[in-house]
Amino acid sequence: MCSSLWGLHHGFNPVLSRLCVFQGFKLLGILDVQRTPCARDAILHGAGGSVAAGMLYFLATSRVRRSFDVGLAGFILTTLGSWFYCRINNAKLRVQQRVIQEGIRNKVIYEGTVLDPSNKPKADARSGSS
């Protein structure tokens, strides 16, 4: 629907062109690499790992079919490794983000009250004055 052939045959359609912005690019029709966090990087790393593994095996053994098998294994392992590494880092960032948001919210609520975490203890003021 978003291909240029559609535009050629049916004329420019502003509604369809806006829809195409939403659709993204789906590998095998299921994995939206544009809108899924970490997907694009994982697939690109996987492609690189696949090419590297396949080429190295071929240079070492000159076996073509087995090199493709090794390339596929490299793709799967590199994609998985990159994916989980990125997802774990994202999860840690999300936790930090929630902690910071909670801290900002608490500071706004408690500012100027006894519970304000940025208040200095009153014992310092008393010892300083005497």
Partner 1 sequence: MAHPSQLGFQDAASPVMEELLHFHDHTLMIVFLISTLVLYIIVAMVTTKLTNKFILDSQEIEIIWTLLPALILILIALPSLRILYLMDEINDPHLTIKAMGHQWYWSYEYTDYEDLGFDSYMIPTQDLTPGQFRLLETDHRMVIPVESPVRVLVSADDVLHSWAVPSLGIKMDAVPGRLNQTAFITSRPGVFYGQCSEICGANHSFMPIVVEAVPLEHFENWSSLMLEDA
DSSP string, 103-114: HHHHHHHHTTST
Please say which residue, 36 or 110, places its beta carbon nearer to partner 1: 36
Q: How far is the CB of 120 from partner 1 (least distance, A)?
A: 30
| Of 76, 8, 4, nearest in space to 46 by CA | 76
In angstroms, give the least distance from the CB of 130 to partner 1. 45
Element containing residue 26 per DSSP (H, E)? strand 26-27
Distance between CA atoms of residues 32 and 51, nearest Å: 22
Nearest approach, Cβ of residue 69 and partner 1 (Å)? 8
Which residue ranges make up the site for partner 1 (CB under 8 A)?
Answer: 1, 19, 22-23, 27-28, 30-32, 35-39, 42, 65, 68-69, 72, 75-76, 79-80, 83, 87, 91
